[in-house]
Amino acid sequence: MELKVGSEAEISTWEEVTLVYNAALRQMNTRIEILIDEFRQVHRYNPIEHTKGRVKTAESIVKKLKRHGYDATIPNMIKYVNDIAGFRIICSFTPDIYTIAEMIANQSDLKVIAVKDYIKYPKDTGYRSYHMVIAIPVYLSDRIIDTRLELQIRTVAMDFWASLEHKIRYKFEGNAPGHISRDLLECSHMVSALDERMKELNEEIQKLMNSEEEGEKAWKTV
């Protein structure tokens, strides 16, 4: 039986929402695990520290729809909410973020719908991360559904900052005291400086290691 190509618009119940978007997360997780295995075995280096995926709760999706003036219906969830399924990739260093993003974009059966680079262009709050909205194929018994999934790719330091900012934003419902917002912004600058310094340190370490390897090879040929 040939599978027909379906669309997210065919999803009509919350049960189908959880089925399809959880399947999209599993698909993404498998792809990242394969990349990690390749990096470890071929390149002897793994730029990915860890990953995390989640499907938004119905309550969270409804709040987001209402915040943007939409009725809380399944069709509106599918049409207007890009991050029903979210997958976060935590990298060691900033250049790793762009390496991983490019590898994902080059997978031929994925479609990149949107990209937002909050690293080169941080939000006013100081938020830094690399976002991609992709469509990933989910294979069901009778059809294939290209399912949107939001990827967030960031460093450990960026993720630590974003986690605290998220807690504060929900604690104060988006109206944190001015001095807290200013301190968060200052911390964001510190995180950026830390990431840059750690990148430079890692590059220096790699140069030293490469020099030692070249010296050992030269010694063996004598």
Structurally, the chain folds into a number of domains equal to: 1
CA 56 to chain centre: 15
Is 33 annotated as catalytic? Answer: no
Please state the pTM of the whole predicted model: 0.88
Residue 170 lies in a domain: no
Inter-residue contact 96 to 158 (CB < 8 Å): no
Q: Is residue 123 part of a domain?
A: yes
Q: Which of 8, 150, 196, 214 is catalytic?
A: 150
Does residue 23 sit within a domain? yes
* Residue 94 forms part of a structural domain: yes
| In the predicted structure, residue 222 carries a pLDDT above the cut 60 | no
Pairing of strands 143-155, 130-139: antiparallel
Domain membership flag for residue 165: no
Q: Reply yes or no on whether the pLDDT at 212 is more than 80.
A: no
At 5 the pLDDT is 60
For 57-105, the pLDDT digits (tens) are: 999 999 999 999 999 999 999 999 999 999 999 999 999 999 999 999 9
How much is the pLDDT for 8? 75
- Per-residue burial over 199-219, b = 16 or more CB atoms within 10 Å of its CB, e = otherwise: beeeeeeeeeeeeeeeeeeee
CATH code of the domain in which 21 resides: 3.30.460.10
Question: Does any domain span residue 176?
Answer: no
**Whether the predicted pLDDT of 129 surpasses 60:** yes
Domain that holds residue 94: 4-157
Domain membership flag for residue 178: no
In a domain, 208, yes or no: no
**Confidence band of 1 (pLDDT split at 50, 70, 90):** very low
3-state secondary structure of 7: coil
